[in-house]
Structure 1
Amino acid sequence: MKATYADINWLGDVSVFEVNRLNAYSDHRYYRTMEEAKASDAMTMRYDLNGTWKFNYAIRPDCRPEAFYKQDFSSDGWDDIEVPGHIQLQGYGQIQYVNTQYPWDGLNDLRPPALPQDQNPVGSYIRTFHLPTGWQNNPVYISFQGVESAFYVWLNGQFVGYGEDSFTPSDFDLTPFLQDGENKLAVEVYQRSTGSWLEDQDFWRFSGIFRDVYLYTVPAVHIRDVRVVTNLDKSYTNGTLNVDLKLEGKAAAGAKVEAELRDAEGNTVKTFGGIEVTNGLASLREAIGKVNLWSAEIPYLYRVYIHVYDAAGELLEVVPQAVGFRTFEMIDKVMHINGKRIVFKGVNRHEFNPRRGRAVTKEDMLWDVRTIKQNNMNAVRTSHYPNQSLWYELCDEYGLYVIDEMNLETHGSWQKLGAVEPSWVIPGDKPEWHDIVMDRAVSMVERDKNHPSILIWSCGNESHGGEVIYKVSQYFKTADPTRLVHYEGVFHDRRFNETSDMESRMYAKPADIEEFLNANPEKPYISCEYMHAMGNSIGGMHKYTELEDKYPMYQGGFIWDYIDQAIYKKDRYGKEFLAYGGDFGDRPSDYSFCGDGIVHADRKVSAKMQEVKFLYQNIKLFPDREGVKIVNGNLFADTSEFELVYSLNCEGHEVLRGTLEVNVGPQSETIVKLPLDVESLAGGEYAVDTALVLKASTLWAEKGEEVAFGQFIFTQGKSDSQSNDTVASDLNLTNEIQVVEGDVNIGVRVGQTHVLFSKAFGTLVSLKLSGRETIAQPPMPLFWRATTDNDKGTVMGFELGAWYAASLLPRCVNWKAEQNPDQYRIEFTYKLNISADVQVKVAYTVRADGSVHVHNTYKGTAGLPDLPIHALSFKTSPDYENVEWLAMGPEENYADRAFGARLGIHDSKVADTVAPYLVPQESGNRTGVRWAKLTDNAGRGFKIESSAAPVELNVSPYTAFELENAQHAYELPPVHYTVVTVAGKQMGVGGDDSWGAPVHPEYRIASDGELQFEFVIRAL
Structure 2
Amino acid sequence: MEKKLGLRARFNFYETLEASLAYQEHSKFLTSLAGTWDFLFCSSIQATPAAFLEGKYDQLEWQTIEVPGNFEFQGYGTPIYANIDYPFALVPPRVPFENPTGLYHLSFEYHKKLDGQQILRFDGVESAFEVWLNGRFLGESQGSRLMTEFAISELLKEGKNELALRVVKWSKGSYMEDQDMWWLAGVTRDITIIEESEIQSIKVTPKLEQEQWTVEIKLKRAHQKRLEFGVFNEGEVVCDFRSVSEDATFAALKIQQPKLWNYETPNLYTLVARIDGTVYLPIRFGLRRIEKINQILCLNSEPILFNGVNRHEFHCQKGRALTKEYMKEELIQIKRAHINAIRTAHYPNHPYFYDLCDELGFMVIDECDIETHGFPEQASLCQDPLWEEAFCSRGLRMVSRDYHHPSILLWSLGNESHFGINFVKMAEKIRAYDSTRLIHYEGDRECQVVDVYSTMYSSIDELKARASKKISQMPHILCEYGHAMGNGPGSLKEYQEVFEQYDSVQGGFIWEWKDHGILVEDGTQTSYKIGGDFGEYVHDGDFVIDGLVLPDNRPSPALFEYTKIIQPVEFFYHGNQLVLRNKYKYKQLTGVKLVWEFQNKEQTVVGEISSISPIDPGTLSEVLSIPAPAEVNGVISFRLIPLEPVGVFQPEDIFASEQFEYEASYQKPGRTETSLEKTIQYTQSDSFIQVTMEETTVTINLHTGNISSFVKQGTELLNAEMNLSLHRQQISNDAEIQKIWNESYLRELFSYCRKFAISKNQTTVFLLIDQYIAPPQAPWGMYVKNKLWLLDGKLTRDCEIWFDGQAPSEVPRIGWELPFQNKVAQVSWYGRGPGESYPDSHYSSHIGQYQLDAKDWAFPYVVPQETGNRMAVEQAKLLFEDTELELVCARPLNMNLVPMTANQNMNYRFKQPEDPLQRVLRIDGGMRGLGSHSCGPKPLDKYLLKSEYHSMKFTLA
**TM tier, shorter chain?**
over 0.9
Structure 2 contact 759–766 (Cα < 8 Å) conserved: yes
Q: Note closer, same or farther for the CA distance 1:376–1:397 as it changes in structure 2 (3 Å cut).
A: same
Aligned partner (choices 150, 154, 179) of residue 201 of structure 1: 179
Give the letter for the 1:759 counterpart.
L
Aligned partner (choices 753, 758, 780) of residue 696 of structure 2: 753
Q: Deviations over 1:441-478 (max 9, x none)?
A: 11111111111111111101111101111121122222
Deviation of 1:818 after TM superposition, in Å, equals: 2.2
Deviation of 1:872 after TM superposition, in Å, equals: 0.5
> Are residue 111 (structure 1) and residue 91 (structure 2) matched?
yes
Aligned partner (choices 81, 86, 110) of residue 97 of structure 1: 81
Aligned to 1:359: 321
Q: Deviations over 1:834-876 (max 9, x none)?
A: 446631234432122x121122321114642112111111122
Aligned to 1:271: 240
Aligned partner (choices 34, 42, 63) of residue 50 of structure 1: 34
1:269 & 1:443 partners in 2: Cα distance? 31
2:183 & 2:387 partners in 1: Cα distance? 22
Other structure's SS at 1:900 match: coil
Deviation of 1:140 after TM superposition, in Å, equals: 2.8
Other structure's SS at 2:381 match: coil
2:229 & 2:625 partners in 1: Cα distance? 53
Aligned to 1:468: 422
Moved more, 686-695 or 343-352: 686-695
Other structure's SS at 1:423 match: helix
1:832 & 1:345 partners in 2: Cα distance? 45
1:651 & 1:977 partners in 2: Cα distance? 25
Aligned partner (choices 53, 64, 79) of residue 63 of structure 2: 79
> Are residue 957 (structure 1) and residue 899 (structure 2) matched?
yes
Structure 2 contact 52–60 (Cα < 8 Å) conserved: no
Structure 2 contact 453–476 (Cα < 8 Å) conserved: yes
Q: Note closer, same or farther for the CA distance 1:894–1:671 as it changes in structure 2 (3 Å cut).
A: farther
> Are residue 226 (structure 1) and residue 193 (structure 2) matched?
no
Structure 1 contact 877–977 (Cα < 8 Å) conserved: no
> Are residue 540 (structure 1) and residue 480 (structure 2) matched?
no
Deviation of 1:426 after TM superposition, in Å, equals: 0.9
1:167 & 1:374 partners in 2: Cα distance? 27
Structure 2 contact 578–626 (Cα < 8 Å) conserved: no
Structure 2 contact 51–59 (Cα < 8 Å) conserved: no
Other structure's SS at 2:352 match: helix
Q: Note closer, same or farther for the CA distance 1:805–1:632 as it changes in structure 2 (3 Å cut).
A: closer
Identity %: 29
The within-5 A match list for 1:684-703 is: 685-703=633-651
Deviation of 1:570 after TM superposition, in Å, equals: 4.1
Aligned to 1:32: 15
Q: Deviations over 1:20-39 (max 9, x none)?
A: 32123222332012233245
Aligned to 1:606: 556
Give the letter for the 1:547 counterpart.
V
Where does structure 1 lack aligned partners over 5 or more consecutive residues?
5-18, 310-314, 415-421, 965-970
Calculate the aligned-residue CA RMSD, in Å: 2.4
Aligned to 1:1010: 949
Q: Note closer, same or farther for the CA distance 1:209–1:72 as it changes in structure 2 (3 Å cut).
A: same
Aligned partner (choices 220, 227, 247) of residue 257 of structure 1: 227
Other structure's SS at 1:490 match: coil
TM-score, normalised with respect to structure 1:
0.89
Give the letter for the 2:477 counterpart.
I
Structure 2 contact 67–187 (Cα < 8 Å) conserved: yes
Give the letter for the 1:208 counterpart.
G
Q: Number of residue pairs matched?
A: 945
Aligned partner (choices 329, 336, 341) of residue 303 of structure 2: 341
1:645 & 1:232 partners in 2: Cα distance? 44
Structure 1 contact 239–290 (Cα < 8 Å) conserved: no
Moved more, 742-751 or 88-97: 742-751
Q: Deviations over 1:975-1018 (max 9, x none)?
A: 35521111001110111x414732211111221x3211111112
Other structure's SS at 1:932 match: strand
Aligned partner (choices 116, 122, 131) of residue 153 of structure 1: 131
Deviation of 1:333 after TM superposition, in Å, equals: 0.5
> Are residue 824 (structure 1) and residue 765 (structure 2) matched?
yes
1:66 & 1:243 partners in 2: Cα distance? 49
1:318 & 1:51 partners in 2: Cα distance? 27
Structure 2 contact 568–583 (Cα < 8 Å) conserved: yes
Aligned partner (choices 999, 1017, 1020) of residue 939 of structure 2: 999
Aligned partner (choices 417, 421, 424) of residue 379 of structure 2: 424
Aligned partner (choices 678, 682, 686) of residue 735 of structure 1: 678
Aligned to 2:626: 675
Aligned partner (choices 615, 626, 647) of residue 576 of structure 2: 626
2:598 & 2:917 partners in 1: Cα distance? 40
Q: Note closer, same or farther for the CA distance 1:751–1:361 as it changes in structure 2 (3 Å cut).
A: same
Deviation of 1:358 after TM superposition, in Å, equals: 0.9
> Are residue 528 (structure 1) and residue 469 (structure 2) matched?
no
Give the letter for the 2:70 counterpart.
H
1:637 & 1:287 partners in 2: Cα distance? 25
Aligned partner (choices 168, 177, 184) of residue 146 of structure 2: 168
2:780 & 2:17 partners in 1: Cα distance? 85
Deviation of 1:526 after TM superposition, in Å, equals: 0.3
> Are residue 406 (structure 1) and residue 368 (structure 2) matched?
yes
1:292 & 1:183 partners in 2: Cα distance? 47
Q: Note closer, same or farther for the CA distance 1:471–1:597 as it changes in structure 2 (3 Å cut).
A: same
Where does structure 2 lack aligned partners over 5 or more consecutive residues?
907-911
The within-5 A match list for 1:785-824 is: 785-792=728-735, 794=736, 796-805=737-746, 807-824=748-765
Deviation of 1:138 after TM superposition, in Å, equals: 5.5
1:694 & 1:226 partners in 2: Cα distance? 41
Other structure's SS at 2:104 match: strand
2:3 & 2:307 partners in 1: Cα distance? 42
2:625 & 2:487 partners in 1: Cα distance? 38
The within-5 A match list for 1:178-197 is: 178-197=156-175
The within-5 A match list for 1:635-654 is: 635-651=585-601, 653-654=603-604
Deviation of 1:539 after TM superposition, in Å, equals: 0.5
Aligned to 2:909: none
Give the letter for the 1:764 counterpart.
I
The within-5 A match list for 1:504-523 is: 504-519=454-469, 520-523=471-474
Aligned partner (choices 204, 213, 216) of residue 242 of structure 1: 216
> Are residue 561 (structure 1) and residue 512 (structure 2) matched?
yes
Other structure's SS at 1:990 match: coil
Give the letter for the 1:274 counterpart.
S
1:932 & 1:377 partners in 2: Cα distance? 35
Give the letter for the 2:550 counterpart.
H
Deviation of 1:918 after TM superposition, in Å, equals: 2.4
Q: Deviations over 1:380-400 (max 9, x none)?
A: 000000001111111111111
Q: Note closer, same or farther for the CA distance 1:856–1:79 as it changes in structure 2 (3 Å cut).
A: farther
Structure 1 contact 48–213 (Cα < 8 Å) conserved: yes
Aligned partner (choices 605, 617, 642) of residue 666 of structure 1: 617
Aligned to 2:795: 852
1:806 & 1:358 partners in 2: Cα distance? 41
1:764 & 1:972 partners in 2: Cα distance? 20
1:961 & 1:1015 partners in 2: Cα distance? 24
> Are residue 299 (structure 1) and residue 266 (structure 2) matched?
yes
Structure 1 contact 99–590 (Cα < 8 Å) conserved: yes
Structure 2 contact 781–805 (Cα < 8 Å) conserved: no
Q: Note closer, same or farther for the CA distance 1:247–1:936 as it changes in structure 2 (3 Å cut).
A: farther
2:321 & 2:35 partners in 1: Cα distance? 13
